[in-house]
Structures are given as structure tokens and as C-alpha cells.
């Protein structure tokens, strides 16, 4: 099955977008192709997970490192406020 990248960074994270992506993936598979979602926002990723379509809508990894950096920034700020032991 041939894989095609699908850039979804312009999509809003709502149910209509998830529905459209699921229908597009179904049509692609029926034609012998598979879509791989790229540049998925954290909100859209959460919505895809919430709807149970994560296995169907193939999301390429990529934003995980950015999310970790954001979390580290919060942790670092919290550690700076703590008195040294």
C-alpha cells in the first residue's frame, strides 16, 4: 500500500475535521493508498485519540519533541522557585 503525506496544520481541531479525515482515509484505502497525517496540532491529536480513530488516522510523530520542550520549560520554572536543598 503506497503512503501519502497529508499536511493538516491548517485544520481546526473539531469533529468535522476528524470526520473528513476519516472519510478521506477510507477513500484512500479503498483506492489502495494510505494517508499519513503530518503537522498535527496537539488539540487535533487529542481529538483523534478521544474519538478512538488514532489507529485509523495514521499520525506521523513530530510534535512530540516540541511538546516535551514546552513541558520542560514549565518544570524548569517550577524548579527555579524551589529553595536549594
Cell of 84: 536549594
State the distance between the two ends of the chain, measured CA to CA, in whole angstroms.
Answer: 57
Number of folded domains that form the chain: 1
**Domain extent for 68:** 2-81
pLDDT tens, residue order, the chain (85 aa): 898 899 999 999 999 999 999 999 999 999 999 999 999 999 999 999 999 998 889 887 764 434 444 555 555 555 556 566 5
What 8-state DSSP symbol labels residue 59? B
Residue 59: which of 80, 24, 35 has the closest Cα? 35
In tens, the pLDDT along 66-79 reads 444 455 555 555 55
Whole-structure pTM value? 0.68
Amino acid at each position: 500500500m503506497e503512503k501519502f503525506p497529508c499536511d493538516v496544520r491548517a485544520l481546526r481541531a473539531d469533529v468535522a475535521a476528524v470526520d473528513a479525515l476519516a472519510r478521506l482515509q477510507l477513500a484512500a484505502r479503498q483506492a489502495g493508498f494510505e494517508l499519513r497525517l503530518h503537522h498535527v496540532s496537539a488539540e487535533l491529536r487529542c481529538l483523534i485519540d478521544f474519538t478512538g480513530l488514532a489507529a485509523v488516522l495514521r499520525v506521523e510523530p513530530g510534535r512530540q519533541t516540541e511538546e516535551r520542550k514546552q513541558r520542560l520549560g514549565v518544570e524548569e520554572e517550577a524548579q527555579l522557585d524551589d529553595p536549594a536543598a
